[in-house]
């Protein structure tokens, strides 16, 4: 892959709206991505392997639990800093951002929000340093968009719970030390359980042959009569709202992350268009390529404004699920469209691993599907504005 010459677009001077702390956090993440992700990520994507050596660096830039209080090992930052970190990481690769999203919003968040003080103290500091890695098991082979139909279940056996079932498409599962698993009790009520690697009957086979998020490890979670200690149940919240609450936080991070992927594609296409000469002039001087580039920067700027305002609402505790859905849906679609257009600007070179665009494009095919598909987020907006749920 070519040297990383990324220059972040900021067409509406949005940096003026950021605090000194936001800029410090953002720039540290930006530099880390340039130094530690860009030089290696193409190779890992090509060989379909997660680069485990980056975990320490992710922890150091505050990507594991950015908004978890410092007393539990988190970075104690606000929601805009969290978003900016996700943006910068996804500028490098969506799969790396996935690892950070899962660790922060889908593992640390539920332990912090629904866990006991003992669970917080036991797991959060180690998750913040990357000494422990986690994954989140909600989706099942027969229940993706409709997680409420899950069949994974646990029975009360007196001194422990007995867990059975299977989860599919689980980011980080092949190497995770712990899994936050959502399962139904004997009354059919959904609860979260902390399942640890090494528990008898628990296995995590890897899913191979992905054309997307190749530098991220994805797998299954299989529970065959797994004895889970009773103290591993998350007592703070139950029902489908508990996992959906975690998704709010992760989807918010994705709304920012997608901007990073789009910025990288735009910046690469702009540089290439200025340098590539055809018919005796740079292709950037042609109206057709200018249309593509002008529309890209317009859409990126709109997405930045959406994410920033959502961050303010989140900081105030006022962001609704439907607002988060709108931003996730809009920004991921914006990014995937930009990736497709940017690839064309590069002509044949756009399909090679010399440039990051095709990798972003393929990664975004997962991003537009996970954490609620593009369709599901539209239906969440539809239900919110009309008062009529059209899912069922
Ligand atoms: P519905 O009847 O709407 O709601 C059930 C209960 O949940 C409450 N609720 C929420 N609570 C907190 N936060 C939210 N965001 C909530 N949304 C709903 C709701 O009030 C209700 O509570 P109660 O007390 O009345 O029971 O549920 P539904 O079954 O109709 O489903 C709604 C729907 C379709 C929107 C939901 O199921 C959904 O979002 N489906 C998409 C599934 C999804 O996003 N899966 C993601 C899996 S994790 C993942 O992809 C990780 S990728 C990570 C990475 O690598 O980055
Ligand atoms: P389905 O739900 O079967 O949907 C298939 C199609 O039908 C979609 O186009 C969908 O929009 C559409 N559809 C569904 N319902 C409706 C409806 N009511 N009206 C109209 N259209 C509808 N899950 C986890 O729990 N943890 C993870 O860490 C995780 N990581 C993932 C990583 C990757 C790389 C991928 C690809 C997925 C991951 N997922 C994870 C799962 C992801 O959340 C699901 O794939 C997603 O929620 C969609 O579920 P599904 O794939 O079963 O598709």
Q: DSSP for 271-321?
A: HHHHH-EETTEEGGGSHHHHHHHHHHHHHHHHHHHHHHHHHHHHHTT---H
User: Residue 199: which domain range?
Assistant: 135-234
Q: Is the pLDDT of residue 358 over 90?
A: yes
Q: What is the DSSP string of 47-95?
A: TT---GGGHHHHHHTT-SSTTS-GGGTS----HHHHHHHHHHHHHH-HH
> Do residues 306 and 365 share a domain?
yes
Q: How far is the CA of 264 from the centre of ligand 2 (A)?
A: 26
Tell me the per-residue pLDDT of 285-329, one tens digit each, with 9 for 90 and over: 999 999 999 999 999 999 999 999 999 999 999 999 999 999 999
Q: How many domains does the chain have?
A: 3
Q: How far apart are CA 293 and CA 379, in angstroms?
A: 31
- Among 108, 133, 158, which residue terminates a domain? 133
- Region 385-390: mean pLDDT is 98
Domain boundary among 133, 151, 179: 133
* CATH label of the domain that carries residue 169: 2.40.110.10
| Ligand nearest to the Cα of 94, by number | 1
Coil, strand or helix at 167:
strand
- The CATH number of residue 80's host domain is 1.10.540.10
- Spatial CB neighbours of 74, under 8 Å, sequence gap ≥ 6: 64, 65, 66, 67, 68, 108, 112, 124, 128
Q: What residue owns the CA closest to ligand 2's atom 50?
A: 144
375 CA distance to ligand 2 centroid (A)?
10
Return the ligand 1 atom nearest residue 389 CA: 30
Residue 2 maps to a domain: no
Ligand 1 site, residue 238, Cβ cutoff 6 A: no
Going by pLDDT thresholds of 50, 70 and 90, the confidence category of residue 219 is very high
The per-residue pLDDT for range 7-24, each reduced to its tens digit, is 999 999 999 999 999 999
Same domain flag for 352 and 267:
yes
- Distance from the CA of 107 to the center of ligand 1, in angstroms? 16
We report the CATH number of the domain holding residue 348 as 1.20.140.10
Q: Which residue shows structure tokens 């975690």?
A: 246
Q: Is 206 a catalytic residue?
A: no
Confidence of residue 1 (pLDDT cuts 50, 70, 90): confident
Residues with C-beta less than 6 Å from any ligand 2 atom:
102, 135-139, 144-145, 169-171, 213, 218, 366, 369-371, 373, 375-376, 391
H/E segment holding residue 23: helix 20-32
Integer Cα distance of 106 and 173 in angstroms = 13
- Rounded Cα distance between 324 and 354, Å, is 34
Are 257 and 374 part of one and the same domain?
yes
Q: Based on the domain organization, do 181 and 318 belong to the same domain?
A: no
Beta carbons within 8 Å of 28's beta carbon, 6+ residues apart: 61, 62
- The reported pLDDT for the residue numbered 266 is 98
Nearest bound ligand to the CA of residue 374? 2
Ligand 2 centroid – CA 193 distance (Å): 22
Whether ligand 1 lies within 6 angstroms of the CB of 239 is answered as yes
**353 in Cβ contact with 279 (< 8 Å):** no
Calculate the CA 344 to chain-centre distance. 26
- Assess whether pLDDT exceeds 90 at residue 282: yes
- 129 and 62 in a common domain: yes
Burial call 59-72: b when 16+ CB within 10 Å, e when fewer: bebbbbbbbbeeeb
Instruction: Give the pLDDT mean for 173-196.
Output: 98
Q: What is the mean pLDDT of residues 170-198?
A: 98
Nearest atom (ligand 1) to Cα of 392: 30
In whole angstroms, give the CA distance from residue 327 to residue 250. 12
Q: Is 201 in the pocket of ligand 1 (CB under 6 A)?
A: no
- Token readout for 391 is 């899912």
**Residue 9 covered by a domain:** no
Residues 212 and 309 in one domain: no
Cβ distance 378 to 133 under 8 Å?
Answer: no
Does 2 have pLDDT greater than 90? no
Any idea which ligand is nearest the CA of 328? 1
Nearest CA to ligand 2 atom 51: 144
Supply the mean pLDDT for the chain: 98
Rounded Cα distance, 181 and 190, in Å: 10
Residues whose CB is less than 8 angstroms from the CB of residue 199 and which lie 6 or more positions away in sequence, other chains included: 226, 227, 228
Question: Are residues 150 and 128 part of one domain?
Answer: no
pLDDT single digits (tens) 54-112: 999 999 999 999 999 999 999 999 999 999 999 999 999 999 999 999 999 999 999 99
Same domain, 190 and 280: no
Q: Is the pTM of this model over 0.95?
A: yes
Angstrom distances, CA of residue 310 to CA of 30, 174, 307, 323:
22, 33, 5, 7
């Amino acid at each position: 892959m070519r040297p990383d010459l990324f220059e972040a677009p900021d067409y509406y001077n949005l940096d003026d709206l950021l605090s000194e702390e936001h800029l410090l956090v953002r720039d540290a993440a930006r530099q880390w991505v340039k130094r530690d992700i860009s030089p290696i990520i193409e190779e890992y994507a090509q060989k379909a392997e997660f680069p485990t050596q980056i975990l320490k660096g992710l922890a150091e830039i505050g990507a594991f639990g950015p908004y978890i209080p410092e007393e539990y090992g988190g970075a104690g930052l606000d929601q805009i800093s969290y978003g900016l970190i996700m943006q910068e990481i996804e500028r490098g690769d969506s799969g790396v951002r996935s690892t950070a999203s899962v660790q922060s919003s889908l593992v640390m968040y539920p332990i912090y929000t629904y866990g006991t003080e003992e669970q917080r103290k036991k797991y959060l500091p180690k998750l913040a340093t990357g000494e422990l890695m986690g994954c989140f098991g909600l989706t099942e082979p027969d229940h993706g968009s409709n997680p409420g139909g899950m069949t994974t279940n646990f029975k009360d056996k007196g001194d422990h719970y007995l867990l059975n079932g299977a989860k599919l498409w689980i980011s980080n599962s092949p190497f995770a030390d712990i899994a936050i698993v959502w399962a139904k009790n004997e009354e059919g009520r959904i609860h979260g359980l902390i399942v640890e690697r090494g528990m008898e009957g628990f296995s995590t086979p890897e899913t191979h042959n992905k054309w997307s998020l190749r530098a991220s490890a994805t797998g299954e979670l299989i529970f065959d009569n797994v004895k889970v200690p009773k103290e591993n149940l998350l007592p703070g919240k139950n029902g489908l709202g508990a996992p959906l609450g975690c998704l709010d936080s992760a989807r918010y991070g994705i709304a920012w992350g997608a901007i990073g992927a789009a910025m990288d594609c735009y910046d690469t296409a702009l540089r290439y268009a200025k340098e590539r000469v055809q018919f005796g002039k740079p292709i950037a001087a042609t109206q057709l390529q200018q249309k593509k580039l002008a529309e890209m920067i317009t859409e990126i700027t709109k997405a930045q404004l959406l994410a920033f305002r959502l961050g303010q609402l989140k900081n105030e505790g006022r962001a609704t699920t439907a607002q988060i859905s709108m931003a996730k849906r809009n920004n991921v679609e914006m990014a995937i469209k930009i990736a497709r257009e940017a690839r064309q600007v590069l002509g044949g070179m756009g399909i090679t691993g010399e440039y990051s665009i095709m990798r972003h494009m393929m990664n975004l095919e997962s991003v537009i599907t996970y954490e609620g598909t593009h369709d599901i987020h539209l239906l969440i907006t539809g239900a919110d504005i009309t008062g009529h749920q059209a899912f069922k």
